[in-house]
Structure 1
């Protein structure tokens, strides 16, 4: 199945948006997360910080580790893994 470049760019932009929005959605519900975990809002806020740091540090490492694999294969695997992680 050959996708047009316009559709590929749209799909990439949507995937990037969802990945970035995930962090901001959690920030809006921070009081509920803190209450559910039984911790302070400040401590629950550190979850967002830790997530962002791990994400930021792992991206360059993953690029180096997957540089020899076809981009499409890596993108599909990462998208499926991210979706499954979000469902779980």
Structure 2
């Protein structure tokens, strides 16, 4: 396995862990709401997003598909920046 392939696998694994963690936290929030019968979806929603990605830039009322797409795009961008830095030739 080449060095670039190892880096790509590492970032893919990190992305999978992030998505899994996000899903777990959303499930925890939903079960807490069901148990306590207190529905504060916007508050819990923002709190869970901030705990995963502190500088998110989205509305708390966005649908789950948009959130998932946002995280996928942001991580693809961060991966491309890291790969571009690793490919840069030293001066």
Q: Same fold (TM over 0.5)?
A: no
Greater RCO (Cα-Cα under 8 Å, separation 6 or more) = 2
Instruction: Report the TM-score when normalising by structure 1.
Output: 0.39
Instruction: Report the TM-score when normalising by structure 2.
Output: 0.38
User: Which has a greater percent of helix?
Assistant: 1
